[in-house]
Structures are given as C-alpha cells and as structure tokens.
Structure 1
C-alpha cells in the first residue's frame, strides 16, 4: 500500500506485483489520479522524471503507463495530496444512476462529459468521465475500495440485488495470518469497474502503519529473481 499518510484518513494505492510477469496490457478504463503537491513536482524535476505541462497542471506517467495529473500546490501537513481518481465510462447518466442513486455517493459537480462524486465532504473525489470509444479494461484493470461499518455491508448487498446490478463476490471473510480478519463484498458498475466494500472494524486494524514497510519492500525487491 502506497500513500501520503495513514490509510485510515488518506487515499492509498495498492501495488500488486506478480512474479515473472513482465507486463500487462493497459485498457482505457482508468483515467488517472489527480494530486495537488508542489513537492512532487520538485522531486520529479530533481530526478529528471519526464513531465508534460498541460494547462494548469503537469502530467506524469508511471513506468506502467498510469497517468498522474499533478498541480503545483502545497497543502497542509495533515491534508492528503491525492484529490481525485478518474474512471472512464461509456454512458454518463447510467453511471451516475449507479454511483449516486444506488451507491449513495454525493454529487459535487457535473457537466455533459463528467461528474464528480464523494462520500465525505472535503474527502476523496471520484470522477466519472465519458469517453466515446468502447470501454476496454484489458489486463491491467484494478478496483476501488471503500471502508464501511460492518452492519452496512449486508444492506449494500441487498440494495444491489434489488436493483439487479452485479455482485462479483458475495460477502465473505478474508483471514490474514497474525492479523485481523476482514469482511468484503465486491461489486461491478455498469462498465465493469470493480468496487470493494470492506468492513471498517477489521480494516482499521489491518491498515495500521507499519514503520518497517519501506525497509521490507526494498528487501524483497532485491530478493526478486525476476528483476533485471
């Protein structure tokens, strides 16, 4: 898990690495991540990391092809620089009905090409952006996850069943040896974007910051026999 602070109040990205796999085919389903951070621009400049100036922000593309839209702005130490994640969709009104009416996200802004939604004021924002081309999730797709109270999960499943939408993984418990057990259910929106709802009680224990995580990551990268 990679983020700018504790997972309890910061958006984090889960990087999944499969040994021996050299690459995945990117689709057009993921629009990118919006970050507001002058420090990112400064670090990228010092490291000569490629950046493209686009109007009022910079575009950085990860080694795997994922887009990051970075605004050259400084935020307070307790504020999460990650401001928005964009998912592409083929039918904006259909997607709004799913995410707003069915999943109960609040609408922040909307035009004829996109909509911004959130669960929490001044919190993480999900942008749905309409594209004209057929949506292709290819092989590199992922999912977005939200933590909710344990007793809310069965109600979410019931709403999805009643609305005749897709449940990819019915409510199950996942054990992590030596750590908390979490309960999850995984849904799919009309374009196939996967949404995971994990129980807040187990998740809060499982997501505690590990001070040794950076050291452990470096250790296992060095041990990876597939690194070139």
Structure 2
C-alpha cells in the first residue's frame, strides 16, 4: 500500500508542540473613542511611550501602539479608533490591564495631578501585603497599579473573567502551552484567580483569569478585542488548538495563513468563554516592525 504524501503528526506529538514553541505575549487589542485623548492619558499619566501609529483611511480606522519598551521585546497595547465611533461597551467579562511600578503612591499622585480618575486609593490588597490602586482611562478601561521592584515588563497583566476556571486553565495549558504560575482562592470575597503565562509573573506579562463563585457567563461588549501571542509555526499551532477545542470548547475563527497585503501569517480562535487569541508568526511579526 502506498504511503500518504503528507504524513500527519499524531495528536499526542502535536500536543507537545506549544511547550516547545518559543512564545510570548505581543499585544492586547481594544477599541477607543478618541485616539489622541487616550494616547495623551497613557503617555502623560501612565508613563507609556507612543511606539507607532498608523492611519488606514480606506478602511476607516487608525491604530496606535503604546508600551514601556520596543515591540520586539515588550508587551504593548494596540488601540484601535474606528472613524466616527466614540463609545464602546466594555461588557462585564473584561477585567483590567495591570502596570507594575516601584511607587504606587507617586503614580497615583501623578495621575490625579493630570486629571485622571482613581477608582481605588493605594493600599494593601485585602488579606495580603501587596500595595495596589486602580485607575480608569478615558474610555472606562481599568488599570491595576501594582507596587513591585524593578521589572523588565511593567505592562504585566490582562485580567479576564471566566465561567469555569479549571476548564480555562486546562485550555490555556494545552492550546497555548502556558503554565499555571499561581492560583489563589479568596472564599471571603467569593472569587478564585489563576495566573497563566510563559515565565514568572514578576518578569513578564501574564493572563489573570478570574472566576467569581457561581457566575458562569459574562457579556463581552464590543470594546476589548483580543490578545496576540507569537509562534514559530501558525499551522502547527492551529492544529493543536483544533484538537483542544474539540475537548474543551472554543473554536478557530481564522484558519492559519497570511493576511492579504502584509503577508504576516496568523491564526485566531476563541477560548471556551469566547475570549479571542491571535497567534502570529514570530518572524513575520518582526518584519512588520
């Protein structure tokens, strides 16, 4: 009997791929109602740098990329402004972004001095010693400000709420090769959190998944879009995601392949709660920069 031209990788071998792949968080994408206003707030109040900006008039949108270091080594925020749309619904599922700083009190004073909104004054977390505060940006996105020693990645968290924490942990471990870095249960506040990522949370960006006791569904709104992660092989990575979604839920929303016009290879999918991740070819991404 003739052998198949393209031998298919057995699924147990494929499932090892995300752990061998070199991955990192690239950016979070979300929509804002006034690009200049948000850039001003992030640079003046939060201390970020505007890394690049592009306007695509034929498709009626503009983008700005902001962060604490260059895109080839740091996690950044990709803001999207759609012409004529000045308001979005953040929904109940998106939680916050987080910024690590050596002096939360000073950062809060700076934000207040420039007219920013603080929704939680600085102080230790309930039942712990870490000093935190919360600030709200002009569109209503929350930023947790965390007091920490020097870190290579100040833009340190994306927090999303999920309906079944164990299922989500398993999904991100299997589909994306993340590690469960820490899990904290707070029965007195009726929630559990899991920190997922590719390296220790003090040195890189992590996904903070939050489960609120008894809440299995959240509204997504139309403001927060997705998180992007690099991969050395979008095709292999998409095969893994397909296998995992059959077991745990979620679905591929874009088959792997190049984006017309820029030729960067990507694939995208939804997790069991409907949160979107885009996997981007690592080499193609660096060429884009």
User: What range is the shorter-chain TM-score in?
Assistant: 0.7 to 0.9
User: Which residue matches 1:148?
Assistant: 231
Change in Cα spacing, 1:61 to 1:130, as seen in structure 2 (3 Å) is: same
User: What is the 5 A alignment of 1:114-125?
Assistant: 114-121=193-200, 122-125=203-206
Q: Decide whether the 8 Å contact of 1:171 with 1:184 is kept in 2.
A: yes
RMSD: 1.9
User: Which residue matches 2:266?
Assistant: 184
Which digits, 9 at most, give the CA deviation of each residue in 1:28-57, with x for residues without a partner? Answer: 121101111236435313313222315321
Look up the SS of the partner of 1:13 in the other structure: strand
User: What is the 5 A alignment of 1:47-196?
Assistant: 47-51=114-118, 52-53=120-121, 55=124, 56-73=131-148, 75=150, 79-112=152-185, 113-121=192-200, 122-131=203-212, 132-133=214-215, 134-149=217-232, 152-163=233-244, 164=246, 165-176=250-261, 181-196=263-278
Q: Structure 2, unaligned stretches of length 5 or more?
A: 1-64, 125-130, 186-191
Counterparts of 1:174 and 1:45, CA distance in 2 = 42
Q: Decide whether the 8 Å contact of 1:29 with 1:141 is kept in 2.
A: no
Q: Does 1:43 align with 2:110?
A: yes
Q: Structure 1, unaligned stretches of length 5 or more?
A: 208-228
Counterparts of 1:40 and 1:169, CA distance in 2 = 40
Distance apart, 1:148 and its partner CA = 1.3
Which digits, 9 at most, give the CA deviation of each residue in 1:152-199, with x for residues without a partner? Answer: 2111111122232410011121245xxx53111001100000000000
User: Which residue matches 1:224?
Assistant: none
Counterparts of 2:168 and 2:88, CA distance in 1 = 26
Q: Decide whether the 8 Å contact of 2:116 with 2:136 is kept in 1.
A: no
Which digits, 9 at most, give the CA deviation of each residue in 1:80-115, with x for residues without a partner? Answer: 211111111011011111001332101111134111
Change in Cα spacing, 1:125 to 1:145, as seen in structure 2 (3 Å) is: same
How many residues are paired up? 200
Which digits, 9 at most, give the CA deviation of each residue in 1:122-156, with x for residues without a partner? Answer: 3211111113442110222310110111xx21111
Higher strand share: 2
Give TM-score scaled by structure 1 length.
0.80
Counterparts of 1:174 and 1:116, CA distance in 2 = 31
Change in Cα spacing, 1:40 to 1:80, as seen in structure 2 (3 Å) is: farther
